[in-house]
Structure 1
Amino acid sequence: MKRLGISVAAILGVALIGLTGLISMSRLLDRDALRQAVETQISAVTGLDFVADGRIDVSVFPGSYVSFHDVRIKGSDAGAPALSVDVLTANLRLLPLLMQRFQIADIMLLRPHIRVTRAADGQSNWIPFVETIARTMKPGADSPVSFSEIRVQDGELSYEDTANEVSEKLGDIDLSLAWPSISRSFAATGQFDWRGERIDGSISLSDFLAALSGERSGLKVKVASAPLKFAFDGTVANPVSLMMEGTLTADSTSLREALRWIGQPPPGSGGFGRFALKARASMIGASIALTNVNIEIDGNVAEGVMTYANNGRQTLQATLAAGALDFTPYVQTIRLLASGARDWNRQLFDLHALSATDLDMRLSAAKVTVGSTRLGKTALGANLRNGTLALSIGEAQIYDGIAKGSFGISRADATADVKAQFQLTDVDLQACASDLFGTGRLSGRGNLNVSLEAKGSSPFGLAQSLDGTATLTGHDGAISGFNIEQLLKRLERRPLSGGGNFRSGKTPFDTLNIALSFNDGIATATDVRVEGPAARLILTGTASVPARDYDLKGIASLTPAANADNFDLPFVIQGPWDDPLIFPDPESLIRRSKASAPLLDAVRDRKTRDAVRSVIERLSGQKEVPEAAGPAAPAEPGTSRTN
């Protein structure tokens, strides 16, 4: 127990002596020598010389440090230095200090201001300093090990690229830099603010000297923020231009918000939500090639290769394959019709996305969904260049048939110039008509060929300028909603009996031919024929695309039997597309009736009033009732007013 007490007392005594020595040293210390030693060690480790324009604080106890105020890197422009620091503090190692030796433990930069500029020729203001650091760290250089950590607090970095008109700023930078000392590696970990988001980031180089010299070095980068997470694990080199190769991963809860955050206008107004990417990346300068790509957007998963370049204009190329794709999120915001109305949408197009990026994409999928439309095996192509978008379908399985075609849209100021050509071969007409025209009244199988073009700043504008042709041929089907055979047979027997409820049943056909020509939004029926086993139809007239209504005339006929009279019934179709009026021509029905045919001639000749009266009596089964009131009309010569 006594020995323990002596040991404790001895330790306390030594500590007291050391404390007394530190207090005395703080008064007797050669501060100029200390300051010079610190400056020498910083220069020896980094190769950089600093100039302190402010005061210098030296402390030995309770903390051992030297603080330089208003520091700037030597060799920079005095007006805009590459690096300036409000306070540079070098913390000293305690034990060497007791022996009058000054060694830096670590350095802390308080409110540093880092300025990086890139001129039109690609040269940076930091190139001379990087070359100096590289020379200092070369093997055999006189660079004694002094410290291995630099901390940055409340820093700021500004970047200016005059050639590409890029200006960026990072703020509130808090970093810890592991400076190469014992090993050749370098690492930085911390946080900073960029474009309103707090970012956690880290970067490590397996060979810092090699990286500074442009030689190959291992590189790991991680960036995590609310809009986007990004990671790279591979190698980096810069012999002539920057080269990187390795594994790239990225993910975001909203690709649309991530694109907007990094300064890229998101295309369209729908989709581009959940996003994930993993690929083997190879970057040279401003171009990056991705292989073994696995990409997911809005639940769509695809694999393939991609390349991206930014040589004054952004260009994206991709060849991808997928099992199933759903394009509904990208087209559901395209509204051709006004909400809750029958009119075309008059809202102006937003065509800015057509001018942002050049795109060349090849896409294949086993299944494709676009709204209510389902496609089987499909090969798609998309090309966007200089504001013109071209979509092509090499071949797609749709409506139990095959589809091929193209769609193009180009931008001229706020006006869209649209061209569409497609062919549907041997498709199910009921599914096709339901999807494309909103009606399920047509069945059978057939072919559809369309070639249309239009120009306008809104869907209504496109409808007004629509030009082109469309043809539909079908066979072995039916038109539901009316039975033309039953109607014609009833009217053949009793022309004035009325059509009754003819909006039921269906009219079968052997062949269906529809040929339309469009001119400034008006569709003209050039050849519309329906041939059935018992009846046939022929239509002529027009339909207004902007007004969405019909003005058609037709003739319905029973297929004549041998030695039988042909019964033809003219009819009219008028009104809106979704609910037109269909009614037979009354004059033809009256002429068809043996009892009422004289009526038409009678109303034109007042001398035949007796004949008209006789017809009315026979139709009504009673004599005409005299007028109840009013002055009597004068009798015509040769006639009598008595019945």
Structure 2
Amino acid sequence: MTRRAAILALCLLTVLGLFGLQSWDVAVGRVERRAVAAIEEKTGFVVGTIERAEIAFLPLPRISLSQVGFSQRDGALAGKAARIRAHLRLLPLLSGRISFDRIDLVAPQIDVAVPAGSGVAEWLAPPLAELERLRSQSKIVVQGGSLFLRAGSAIQSVVRDLNLVIDERSLNEPLDLSGSLTWRGVPTEVGLRWPMIGGSAKAALSATSPLLKLRFDGTRSGPGEPVINGLLALSTPSVPQLLGWFGEDSRLAAALGALTLSAELQLKPHEASFNNAVASLDGERLDGVLNLTESNGRFALAGTLAGATLDFGRLIDRLPIAAVDAADTSPFDLDGWTGREIDLRISVDAARLHGARLNDVATYLLIRKGRFETGLLRAATYGGSVKTRLLAVNAPAGVDVKLQAGFEKVNLAQAAGDLPQLARLSGTGSFQLALDGAGRNFDELLGSFAGRANLSLRQGELAGVAFAELMRRAERTPSQALRDWRQGKTPFESLNVNASVGGGLFALNEAQMNGQNYRFSLAGTASLRSRILDMTASLASANGSLKLPFVLKGPVSAPFFELETEAFLSPVGGSALPALLTR
């Protein structure tokens, strides 16, 4: 035997001899009782039931308890583990004392009592408070556990595949936790450092999953109601999916896609303030402040953000907004849009709205229970300005809706470069629209709308028709008048439209376009429900000696516009009538 082997053998014999000097009466449960008392002291759990207890000294000393029932002293947490393994410290064991280096909870099923309708912060508070009361704590390892969050007999949520390590700590040292879990089907890596003393102490939180990357580093001050301050960094590929993971179903959140957020976070009970916040929505940066509060289970978000660019059209297109259709008799659900209070102001240097380019934009979103309001406070566009306002409020008749929109000094020719639907009309002018109505569905709302619309343009052109040329031909060569009048453009000096809305109809009170040698007038109605036009028009010479009647009928999307030859009014003397009726 070598000298080294002899020394090791002597040490082993010495240790075994010391063990032999102690009384290890497992049969009578002495070790079991002492082990349970030590486990309770180091974990904060009260052990209720044990099916079997075992002790082993090799290769390392440990105590194993099978089918163990346990709970926290305040009853906030209870559960059952298939096995609890307590790894004994060697030196205390030589003197007959039981002390643990590590305690393993194997396949535990843990029930945590939580208030009904509460959130993650309320779920964590009772277990953390119980751990905070411990003077010291052994290293606790949870392997393959499940966590059931219950409000009474109802399960609020379930955490599966729970694998956590809670590091050993002494008096006043922070709680350090790390590991992995699966919550609502999403595997997540987590880390937490939580101070267990009053005053200012470091706190940290991290979480990584396919839906979320979060990191917070800061301090918690206490005692009493703690205040947490620090730097927050958060990113998600999809805000709606992230909120859905936390059980939030927000229709407005559907407007958002990928988000990254960094901010100076101050967290108080029922309030979170995000100062110097930098948010990136699909790569577009917004800076400002945000504040999130909670009262009686109702969340409220307020804030002011500013940035260089923002695509409002992309945000609106993502919203689950139903198309305006009188055939859709499903009732309005305004409560589904106003479940969370919001007071948000956004300003950007430049914005896009379905192709339109806006500059110096200030917009807002104001939501209260049963009240939805949004609009453009200001925006410069194509040499002019535009404003809008939409207000929807719950009312006895259903939903009361007010819509206001208008622009001033806008050059439509410039706008047509970005908005092809305006390509047929040019000129510079203004537009005003004001509607007010109430209903339980689209049919009732469209039938109740009352309001007005005004359009005024100067020095422009109407493409697709050649009224000026048609009038010249009719006056000079009647036989050629009706040829090719649907081609070319009609320049005008002024275009004015005044309309009223009521009883489900859009009625033209005055609609006139004037050029150098003609005057075009349009009158009639359009049904808001069916979107069918029923209008007549008249093209007259400047001196009124010649009038050409038109009819405008059919669906708004594809109307029928044609000369009404049967009701033709010939020039004075009637000599041109036969020629004008000849094609």
- Distance in 1 (CA, whole Å) between partners of 2:396 and 2:85 is 58
| Alignment partner, residue 568 of structure 1 | 547
Equivalent position of 1:174 in the other structure: 163
2:306 is aligned with 1:321? yes
Q: Unmatched 5+ residue regions in structure 2?
A: none
Matches of 1:129 and 1:519 in 2, distance apart?
63
Contact 1:219 1:234 in 2 (8 A): yes
Cα 1:128–1:187 shift into 2, 3 Å? closer
Distance 1:538 1:509, change over 3 A: same
| Structure 2 residue 536 is matched with structure 1 residue 553 | yes
Name the aligned partner's letter for residue 196 of structure 1. G
In the superposition, the TM-score normalised over structure 1's length comes to: 0.78
Higher Cα Rg, which structure: 1
Once residues 72 and 171 of structure 2 are traced to their aligned partners in structure 1, the CA distance between those partners, rounded to angstroms, is 27
Whole-angstrom CA distance in 2 between matches of 1:135 and 1:498: 98
In 2 relative to 1, CA 471–463 (structure 1 residues): closer, same or farther, beyond 3 Å? same
Residue in structure 2 matched with residue 295 of structure 1 by the alignment: 279
Q: Deviations over 1:260-295 (max 9, x none)?
A: 111111325854221111111112111111110111
Tell me what 1:541 maps to: 524
Match of 1:478 among 451, 455, 461: 461
Secondary structure of residue in 1 paired with 2:2: helix
1:410 CA drift (Å)? 3.7
Q: Which amino acid aligns with 2:568?
A: S
CA contact (8 A) 2:550 2:561 kept: no
Q: Measure the CA separation in 1 of the matches of 2:478 and 2:400.
A: 51
Native 8 Å contact 1:485 1:558 kept in 2: no
The change in CA–CA distance for 1:258 and 1:48 in structure 2 (over 3 A counts) is closer
Deviations 1:97-127 (A, max 9, x none): 455454322211223444433569x9x9999
Whether the 8 Å contact between 1:366 and 1:378 is mirrored in structure 2 is: yes
2:369 corresponds to which of 380, 383, 386: 386
* Bigger mean CA offset, 514-523 vs 574-583: 574-583
Report how far residue 503 of structure 1 moved.
Answer: 1.0
Superposed, which structure 2 residues align to 1:82-481 within 5 Å?
82=78, 84-98=80-94, 100-118=96-114, 137=135, 148-160=138-150, 167-181=156-170, 184-205=173-194, 207-208=195-196, 210=197, 215-268=199-252, 271-312=255-296, 313-332=298-317, 346=328, 351=334, 353-410=336-393, 417-430=400-413, 438-455=421-438, 463-481=446-464
Distance in 2 separating the partners of 1:112 and 1:528: 78
Shift of the 361–217 alpha-carbon distance from structure 1 to 2, 3 Å rule, reads: same
2:551·2:562 contact (CA, 8 Å) conserved in 1?
Answer: yes
In 1, Cα distance between the equivalents of 2:51 and 2:320?
65
2-structure distance, mates of 1:542, 1:438? 22
How has the CA–CA distance of structure 1 residues 81 and 53 changed in structure 2, closer, same or farther, with 3 Å as cutoff? farther
Q: Counterpart of 1:635?
A: none
Are the counterparts in 2 of residues 414 and 457 from structure 1 also a CA contact under 8 Å? yes
TM-aligned CA distance change 1:476 to 1:16, over 3 Å = closer
Q: Evaluate the alpha carbon distance shift between residue 595 and residue 378 of structure 1 in structure 2; reply closer, same or farther with a 3 A threshold.
A: closer
State the 1:329 CA deviation: 2.4
For 2:56, the aligned partner's letter is S
Gaps in structure 1 of 5+ consecutive residues: 138-142, 600-614, 621-643
**Matching of residues 10-89 of structure 1 within 5 Å:** 10-11=6-7, 13-14=9-10, 17=13, 25=20, 29-31=24-26, 32-45=29-42, 50-69=47-66, 70-73=68-71, 75=73, 82=78, 84-89=80-85
Separation in structure 2 between the aligned mates of residue 381 and residue 579 of structure 1, nearest angstrom: 37
More strand by share: 2
| 2:354 counterpart letter in structure 1 | G
**1:381 and 1:361 mapped to 2: Cα distance?**
6
Query: SS of the counterpart of 2:10?
Result: helix
Q: CA deviation at 1:168?
A: 2.8
1:476 & 1:260 partners in 2: Cα distance?
53
Q: Quick one: structure 1 residues 374 and 414, their matched pair in 2 at CA, closer, same or farther if it must change by over 3 Å?
A: farther
Task: Answer with 452-461 or 312-321: which moved more.
Answer: 452-461
Matching residue of 1:500: 483
The residue type paired with residue 384 of structure 2 is: G
Residue 203 (structure 1) shift: 0.7
Query: How far apart, in 2, do the equivalents of 1:382 and 1:335 lie?
Result: 17
Whether the 8 Å contact between 2:231 and 2:263 is mirrored in structure 1 is: yes
Say which is worse superposed, 406-415 or 254-263, in terms of deviation: 406-415
Q: Secondary structure at the match of 1:369?
A: strand
CA distance in structure 2 between the partners assigned to 1:73 and 1:315 by the alignment: 36
* Aligned-residue offset at 1:494: 4.6
Distance in 2, Cα, partners of 1:283 & 1:537 = 66
What does the per-residue CA deviation read over 1:162-211, in whole Å, with 9 as the maximum and x for residues that have no partner?
7xx99233233211111213882320111122112222111113x42x0x
- CA pair 260-411 structure 1, distance change in 2 beyond 3 A: farther
Q: What's the CA shift for 1:345?
A: 8.1
| CA distance in 2: counterparts of 1:337 and 1:72, whole angstroms | 53
Aligned partners of 1:269 and 1:333 also within 8 Å: no
Contact 1:176 1:188 in 2 (8 A): yes
User: May I ask how many residue pairs the two structures share in their alignment?
Assistant: 572
Change (3 A) 1:39 1:482: closer
Query: Which deviations, in whole Å up to 9, do the C-alpha atoms of 1:580-602 show, x marking residues without a partner?
Result: 322144443556564577x9xxx
User: Is contact 2:547–2:571 with CA below 8 Å preserved after alignment?
Assistant: no
SS of the counterpart of 1:487? helix
Q: Is the 8 A contact 2:471 2:481 kept in 1?
A: no
**CA RMSD, Structure 1 to Structure 2 (Å):** 3.9
Residues 284 and 503 of structure 1: CA distance in aligned 2, closer, same or farther (over 3 Å): same
Whether the aligned pair in 1 keeps the contact of 2:409 and 2:428 (CA below 8 Å) is yes
Aligned identity (percent) is: 27
CA contact (8 A) 2:549 2:563 kept: no
